[in-house]
Structure formats: C-alpha cells, structure tokens
A and B are shown apart, each in its own frame.
Chain A
Amino acid sequence: MDATSLNFKNNARGAIADDPLQKALAKLAVGFPLKRAQAAARLPEFEGLRDQARDIKNHVLENLDLYLEAYEEKVIASGGHVHWCATAADARETILKICQDAGAKTVTKSKSMISEEIAVNGFLEDNGIEPIETDLGEYIIQLRKEPPSHIIAPAIHLSKEQVAETFRNAHIDLAANRPLEEPRALLEEARGKLREKFLRADVGLTGANMLIAETGTNVLVTNEGNADLTNNLPRVHVVIASIEKIVPTLEDATTILRVLARSATGQEISVYTTFCTGPRRPDDLDGPEEYHVVLLDNGRTDMIGSEFHEMLRCIRCGACLNHCPIYKSIGGHAYGWVYSGPMGAVLIPNLIGMEDAQHLPNASTLCGKCESVCPMRIPLPKMLRKWRERQYRAEIGSKQVRWALHAWAWLAKRPKVYRYVMSLGIAMMGQFGGAGRFKSVPFAGGWTSKRDLAAPTGDTFISQYHKGARGDQSGELIRRKIMR
C-alpha cells in the first residue's frame, strides 16, 4: 500500500476527532493491558520465558543463514517448495505465478502482516484473481478497502454500526431489512459468506507466526480457525513469511508461544496453534496437494547488524501498541502504513525510508512502557532515539526544532553558562508566573493550548543543593563532584 506516514500530523488530528475510534481506543486501553497483566501474574515463569525467548531469537539472528538453509532442506524433504524473494515485487510475482499455475480464480487468505506489507491483494485483483480475507476483522476492512489499524485486531477502529453498514453494502444478495444490530448477527452473516468461499477456493494463502528449521514447519496462531480452513481445504497452500520468522526447534517455538498470546490478548494460549509441514501425505484424507513457502527479505538483511538489528526479534504480538500512550490516543491508521505503534515507528522507517516516515520516531514520549511489556525485550525507546539521531544528522525535521536542539547542546556543554542562564530564566519565570502556573507561554503554544505549565517557585536544584536545602550529609560527595 502507499504510505501516508508523511501526513502523520494531519492523520493524528483526524484520529483524535474520530468518535468511534476514540471509543474503541478507550476500551482497548483498559482491556488488553489488564488481561496481559493478569496472564503474566498467573505464570511465575513468565519473566524467565521472556529472557529465553529473547535469547532464542538472538541466537537465530546470529546464525540466520544456517537456519534458513536447514529450514529449506526440511521443507523440500517433506515435499514442499521454497521461493526466496529479495523484494516485495519478487514476492508478489511469485505468489501470482503459483496461483496462475494452479488455475486459481479465488484465493482465501488468513491474516498476514507480510501480505499487507507486500500489498499482494491489489496485485492479485489486477491480474484477475480474487483474494478473500477470512479473519473477521481483515474481511471487514477488506470490504471497506482500509488497512489494518492494529496488528492483531485489524478492525478495532470500527463500531458495530459501521460493520453493519459495510455488510449491507457488500452482501446485496441478502434481504435489505435483515436485523444486523447485534455483533452475533454480524458474525453469523460473515461466517456464512466466508464458508462458501472457503469451500471453493483454489489456493489458501497464510502467513506464519514462526518457521521451524528442525522440521520445515510453519506455525499459525489464530482464535477463529480461519487459518486452518485456509490451509486445509484448498488444493494449494502458500505460506508468505519474512526471513526472521525462523526458530530452531519445536521446543524453541513452544517457548515463544508461551509468551505470545499472554502478551497479545492475555490468553494463556490462542485457541488454535497449528503446525503445517509440507503437503498432504499419500494416505491422508484431506490437506493441500501442494505446499509453497515464499521467503521474503524486503529490507530485513539491511537491518542485520545495524542499530535496528534487535527489531528482528519482534513476534508481532501488539503489546507495545496496547500500552503506548500515543497509539492509544490515535490508533493505527495515523501511522500511515501497515504497522503502527512503537514497533511500527521503529520498523516503518527501515522499510519505506527515514524521510517518508520521519514523524513516526518522534511520535513517542519515550516513556518506556513498550519495552517493559515486550515479550522479546526489544529496546524500542533506544531505537526510536537512534532514528532521531539519524534524522538530526541528515538534517531532517523543522528548522525551529533543530535550532532549539543546537542551542540546548551548546548550553549543555558549558555548565557555568548553563547554570547562569537557567537561574536567570527561573527567576524571570517565577516573577511572571504569579498564580503558580502559566496559561500561555511564547513558542510553547503546543503545550499550553491543552494544559497549563507549572511556574517555578524556587531557584534551581543546584543552587538549592549548595544552600543545603536538598540532600543529606551523604550528598556531600556528589556535591563536590558537581562543583568540579
């Protein structure tokens, strides 16, 4: 899809004014974090599992070439095919070719962020093949021609009334006056519609939560069971996955699965965790006759060894979104591309370029909540700062901000001047801020238009310290250090 990340500021303004979205976000902001906290508290080993999950992916990334080769060998040995695709365009062409060779008219799909990343749906449509999203949320946003607004809950931004309207416009063969007020009625209608599609699809396209090198297996995690009908019923099963999805063994996959659902939805485990290996065996009664894996790079190899290497541990659970004060204020669409929240703000500049995604690393308070809940312990705030540094060096961003940063840095490097300027500033602000707070401050309207700024009431910390108003006897050592 075309990124609108450059339009982030307008997108965010629109999101804050969008009532159904704000209602949905308010619900998400309470529900997901609470459920995650409860699931984590119920498992004494949870923190230890997070450490191991991190270590497993670190080991994989250090040996990624070896694991990819081992994985490929096992897929081929089990009767499958592996297609290596360096770019999104290569992957689209490869998937189209597989569909055309299968004589496919329709392709059922289970939710895959990579398939969103490579925009395969539009490409298949342009070539006369109908892709059908089968995850309920993805189905709804496909009908509305929208991108997902959350990694694991793609239609979270919509009200049930909006979904009803979408179904009325799309399912024109059904009675126009049918009742669609209840979520249950909406689900029944979608289940009926999609059941027909499942049964006559020629190709099933799924993503992969993981690829297991030991056995050449792909892992699929869903709550609906749509990935299972997608991989089991059509004659051809195609898996699209990026190269960093590899894990070594069934045991390693199991460790990551123990932190995935708990971090994502607060479930102990998702309803369906499925391990697919190759096509159906000669005496099997069902399952696909062909099995293809499309392995996508699309920028991952550039991240190996870079400042953003650790981002490749991400398992797309969405915990960082659910806990992010920015995401919870504006939702996913404002980020302007497939991914969103803290993980999106780190990943998107890697995939579409720093210039086009320049606002995203700045859309963070760096509060650190994302890192504290990430099951893979990815240092997201550190990487957001890395992008900010790169932007400064590349002279991206407003002149005003760059000038202010420059002036700050000049001051910060000269402690004596810094203290003098600060004491002047504080004295001045204390003088004018009579009521204890400012309702407006020149150049800081962005802050004071929404809230007051507290006025300083004393002098600086350092001068209070010298007067002995701060700290105790043990502070003496620090005091001497500061003076030096």
Chain B
Amino acid sequence: MSGRDQILGKLRSKLGRASTTVSENAALNHMQAHQKNLIPARGDLPKAQRVALFKQEAEKVNATVSELSHFGDVPNAVADYLRQHQLPAAIKIAPHPGLKNLRWAEDTSIEVLDGRANGDDPVSVSVALGGVAETGTIVMASGPDTPTSLNFLPLDHIVVVSADDIAGNYEAVWERLRAQADAAGRPGTLPRTVNWITGPSRTADIEQTLLLGAHGPQRLHILIVDGLETTAADA
C-alpha cells in the first residue's frame, strides 16, 4: 500500500468517513469562502495615519524609512543612503521597468546593474508589492521584475513602496494578490515566493544577544513614495 493510501485510509477510518464526497465538503466550502477572521483594529486608519503607523512600526524593528514626494527622487535618495553609510557607488536593481527608467546616470554617479543577486552585490534596490501598517511589514512578490534573491543576499536592501500600496492589514494584501491572479487568468495561484519582511535580518542565538545581519540584510531602508502609480509598482 502506498504511503498516500495508508495515511488517508487511516485518517478516514479515524474520522469515521466512508469516502470523500465532492459536494457536502466542509473543507471545500471553507476554502472557497476566504472568510476573514478577526483583524486587529490597529491598522484601520485613513491613509496619512496608516503610512505614519507603518513608518513607526518599521522603525521600531530597526528599519529606516524616508518619504519621497516623487518616484523620480529615488536615485538621489539612494545616492544619499550610499554616502551616509559609506558604501561603494554600485547597486543591483530589480529589472523593473519603472526602476530601470529612472535618471540614474543623469542624477547620480552610481554604477547600476539589474537582475538577480549573485552573492557579491553589496546593495540592492527593489520595488515592493505593498506594505502592511499593522507591523511595518513590506510585502515582496517574486516575478520577472522582482527576483527574490535581491531581498536576501545583499547586506543593504533598499525597497521602494508606494504610499497608496500600504494597507492596514495583511488580509488586504492577500485580496490584491488574488485579484492579480484572477486578472492574469490564473485564479487561486500565488507567485512562486511572497515575502513579508519586517525589519533587517537578526539572530539572538548566541547568549540571547540580539545581533542584526544574520544571513539576510543587516540594514533595510524603505523609501515610501507618494503618488507612485500602482501600475508601475505592479508591472
């Protein structure tokens, strides 16, 4: 008997089920309903306060946050960050059309490469699907414009997020991902990887001493851009 038959057979007999019926299936009904459970009221705020809460929560877990009024200000903000931390003027950006088309060469002297991270990129810049004010979390979804390795291999990770994409709670982000999957003709699917990222990497495995930069980035810098077209962020 296969492991599958053995496990399912034993479960069915223990649960007193004669066979699986397609209709009258409590599990199917539950999954299709996408019923929301209790959602903390904390993030349920108008936009300005929501963004403020996001910033406050992100800073509490050692992320740094800057607010920009235009997407076009990103290159200068990145240049400032590199100078401030005395980092080399070289970055790996996500191959995201919006990011690639910025005036990197005109506005800065940063050497810009795009693509996935290889392990020798000190700084990455990528675009978030959105943010969650509840805990100051950014949400990254993998795709051709947003390779996941950029979120983890470099020591410094800079993330651009649109203020309009900062939701009150995680559930709102699931709804957006479901809508995107429906629009792409792939209902009920997710990108290969969805990352909730809340602050830079850390460990307390040695004598319960908190240290940043365990395996992922030691610093996480978030650029909140007001008025950034959501379509650009999602492209």
Contact with A along B1-43 (1 / 0, CB 8 A): 0111011101110110100100001111011001111111110
CB-CB nearest in chain B for A87: B3
CB-CB nearest in chain A for B195: A274
* Cβ contacts under 8 Å, A191 to chain B: 213-215
In the bound complex, how far is the Cα of B62 from the Cα of A271, in angstroms? Answer: 11
In the bound complex, how far is the Cα of B95 from the Cα of A251, in angstroms? Answer: 31
Q: A52-B37, A213-B31, A258-B40 are in contact. Are A295 and B7 (CB under 8 A)?
A: yes
Contact with B along A297-310 (1 / 0, CB 8 A): 10001001100000
* Cβ contacts under 8 Å, A49 to chain B: 37-38, 40
* Cβ contacts under 8 Å, A62 to chain B: 15, 26
In the bound complex, how far is the Cα of B192 from the Cα of A27, in angstroms? Answer: 40
* Cβ contacts under 8 Å, B28 to chain A: 66, 70
**A223 touching B3 by the CB < 8 A rule?**
no
A5 smallest CB distance to B (angstroms): 25
In the bound complex, how far is the Cα of B188 from the Cα of A275, in angstroms? Answer: 14
**B116 touching A285 by the CB < 8 A rule?**
yes
User: A284 an interface residue at 8 Å Cβ cutoff?
Assistant: yes
Contact with A along B196-232 (1 / 0, CB 8 A): 1111111111111101011111000000000000000
Contact with B along A67-92 (1 / 0, CB 8 A): 11110001001100001111000100
User: A390 an interface residue at 8 Å Cβ cutoff?
Assistant: no
B189 smallest CB distance to A (angstroms): 6
* Cβ contacts under 8 Å, A268 to chain B: 57, 61, 134-135, 198
Number of B residues near A (Cβ < 8 Å) is 78
In the bound complex, how far is the Cα of B148 from the Cα of A280, in angstroms? Answer: 10
In the bound complex, how far is the Cα of B142 from the Cα of A243, in angstroms? Answer: 27
Residues of A within 8 A of B (CB): 24, 27-28, 31, 43-45, 48-49, 52, 56, 59, 62-70, 74, 77-78, 83-86, 90, 134-137, 140, 153-156, 158-160, 163, 183-184, 186-187, 191, 194-195, 198-199, 213-215, 217, 223-226, 228-229, 231-233, 243, 248-252, 254-255, 257-258, 265, 267-281, 283-287, 295, 297, 301, 304-305
**12 extra A-B contacts, CB within 8 A, seeds A74-B188, A223-B203, A248-B31:** A45-B39, A45-B41, A84-B3, A198-B119, A213-B27, A223-B214, A226-B215, A228-B151, A251-B35, A258-B40, A279-B192, A305-B14
